Structure 1
Amino acid sequence: MDKLSFAGLVIGLVAILGGQVLEGGHVSSLLQPTAFLIVVGGTLGAVLLQTPFVVFKQGVSMATWAFKPPVIEQKRIIDQVMQWSQLSRREGLLALENFVPAIKDPFTRKGLQLLVDGADPERIRSLLEVDVDCFEEAHKQAAKIWESAGGYSPTIGILGAVMGLIHVMENLSDPSKLGAGIAVAFVATIYGVGLANLIYLPIAGKLKYYVSRMVAAREMVIDGLVGIAVGDNPRIIESRLRGYLR
């Protein structure tokens, strides 16, 4: 559980709502269902229009990473590669075949199978790098839906503000309706800017960070397997892989 994400969200909300109270305002004045519907619904519609459903679905499911990060065990990868390196140095590459069925990660299992099958080191690298590139592109596209939402949300908020002002202008002769229209106008802008800068863009940034770490973990696997394939000393392989940790 990423406590920093929870802390950041809470601090941001408390600062904004606390500032509203300190200025003599009421928190209830920021609760405008109409403005919320305009901003959230409009932003969702814009994101859906630009994004294929598969990408949108993956992006939504990845949002949980902001609060519950994916498991990225880089140190375990180093230990695993070192075990394979030492065993292959003593008994040959075929001795690694027994490890293949037990590997849960499809990417690592594919790479180790290529190594056991005696594939050329450069062939191993090129085949696995295709998988890494596709993985990175797919996950970055999914993360971008939140970045897109962060771009659309303030604009939709301004649209809500204009709609509220139009409502005000239509009811200038009826002062009882002016307050609601003005409230929607200003609160819609707050929702648009607030959601973009407190929710959408921070989530996009954190998802991109985790995607880059997951890509680095896969590159570690590639470097380790290629090092074993070319017959590098286990200490050299370990030194190279530990560079990723820095």
Structure 2
Amino acid sequence: MRKRDILTPIGITIGFIMIMLAILSSGGKEGFGNFVDVASIFIVIGGLIGSLLINFKYEQIKLFSSVMKEAFRKNDRKMPELIQLFIRLSEQARKEGLLALENEMEDVEDEFIKKGILLAIDGIEPEVINEIMNAEITAMEERHYKGRVIIEKAGEYAPAWGMIGTLIGLVLMLSSLDDPASLGPNMAVALLTTLYGTVLANLVFLPMASKLENKTDEEIFIKQIIIEGIIGVQSGQNPRILEEKLSAFLVGEELETPSKVTGISGENIHEA
């Protein structure tokens, strides 16, 4: 089960809290009420939903909620553990042959790793494995983009609908200049729609889209490492050499993780 990424809800919550504190510090509780306008909410949310329905197919719209949830999930795959998996597979392949890895694949949950190892067991050339696995990475990247683009478009449309609401409010205000009592509400619509649209775009949609893009880049990076590990296992690389090769991809605190490889001595690095 994937862990929740607490930074996303914390960031959104802090953003809204800071905005509310700024409002309260300027006008007290009464001032906060001035920033709530139902008409402005209808214009921004309704217009945003309408634009997304026009822009995307039904199948893509259904992905909206799942894509939003993905921004709140954490990729708990740990690089050191991934490297140790390939070290173990490399050791077993050198001792018992590639066919012995077929049973190991039953306990591997990652379908990408399983597919690559099975291709290696089938005797597919390393260049062909590389092409097949990279084609799958490209397909994954395209799927992620199709989901992420909905959030990106929402970030683009929200401020635009805020401006449309501002124009509506200005028209209403100018058409009722002879009624001073209506000037305030109409001005509120004019300004609050822009506020709502801008906040939604810059605090919710655009940061989420950027985070999803970063997660896709991270997933591509990890899959490229997996390809290196698979080819290393297939070619019969020394486990110690393979460990050093894959460890070059580690960053930050991952570098401090002690090696858990057992049964590999310094003498073995010169073997085959």
Question: Which of the five TM-score ranges fits, normalised by the shorter chain?
Answer: over 0.9
The whole-number CA distance in structure 2 between the counterparts of 1:3 and 1:15 is 18
Q: Deviations over 1:181-225 (max 9, x none)?
A: 111110000001111111011111111111111222221211100
Partner of 2:140: 135
Given the two structures, how large is their TM-score scaled by the length of structure 2?
A: 0.84
The whole-number CA distance in structure 1 between the counterparts of 2:123 and 2:67 is 36
Structure 1 residues 230 and 59: alpha-carbon distance in aligned structure 2, compared to 1, 3 A threshold: farther
Structure 1 residues 56 and 69: alpha-carbon distance in aligned structure 2, compared to 1, 3 A threshold: farther
The whole-number CA distance in structure 2 between the counterparts of 1:112 and 1:164 is 62
Conserved? CA contact 1:77–1:220, under 8 Å = no
Pairing 1:102–2:103 present = no
Structure 1 residues 74 and 156: alpha-carbon distance in aligned structure 2, compared to 1, 3 A threshold: same
- 3-state SS of the aligned residue for 2:76? coil
- With 36-45 and 122-131 compared, the bigger mean Cα shift is at 36-45
The whole-number CA distance in structure 2 between the counterparts of 1:51 and 1:69 is 27
Pairing 1:13–2:5 present = no
Conserved? CA contact 1:120–1:229, under 8 Å = no
Partner of 1:237: 242
Given the two structures, how large is their TM-score scaled by the length of structure 1?
A: 0.92
- Equivalent residue letter for 1:11: I
Partner of 2:62: 57
Q: What is the CA RMSD across the aligned residues, in angstroms? A: 1.7
Show structure 2 runs of 5+ residues with no match. Answer: 252-272
Partner of 1:213: 218
Identity %: 34
Pairing 1:45–2:50 present = yes
Q: CA deviation at 1:231?
A: 2.2
- With 11-20 and 192-201 compared, the bigger mean Cα shift is at 11-20
Number of corresponding residues = 246
Q: Which has the higher helix share?
A: 1
The whole-number CA distance in structure 2 between the counterparts of 1:245 and 1:41 is 46
The whole-number CA distance in structure 2 between the counterparts of 1:10 and 1:194 is 12
Structure 1 residues 78 and 56: alpha-carbon distance in aligned structure 2, compared to 1, 3 A threshold: farther
Pairing 1:93–2:83 present = no
Q: Deviations over 1:46-88 (max 9, x none)?
A: 2332233333333431222333323333232212111111100
Structure 1 residues 38 and 22: alpha-carbon distance in aligned structure 2, compared to 1, 3 A threshold: same
Q: CA deviation at 1:119?
A: 1.0
Conserved? CA contact 1:38–1:160, under 8 Å = yes
- 3-state SS of the aligned residue for 1:124? helix
The whole-number CA distance in structure 1 between the counterparts of 2:100 and 2:206 is 48
- With 166-175 and 214-223 compared, the bigger mean Cα shift is at 166-175
The whole-number CA distance in structure 2 between the counterparts of 1:196 and 1:41 is 15
Structure 1 residues 43 and 244: alpha-carbon distance in aligned structure 2, compared to 1, 3 A threshold: farther
Show structure 1 runs of 5+ residues with no match. Answer: none
Partner of 1:177: 182
Structure 1 residues 52 and 236: alpha-carbon distance in aligned structure 2, compared to 1, 3 A threshold: farther
- Equivalent residue letter for 1:5: T
The whole-number CA distance in structure 2 between the counterparts of 1:94 and 1:51 is 47
The whole-number CA distance in structure 2 between the counterparts of 1:97 and 1:8 is 44
> What is the correspondence of 1:118-157 to structure 2 with a 5 Å cutoff?
118-157=123-162
Conserved? CA contact 1:72–1:213, under 8 Å = no
Conserved? CA contact 1:72–1:214, under 8 Å = no
Structure 1 residues 181 and 24: alpha-carbon distance in aligned structure 2, compared to 1, 3 A threshold: same
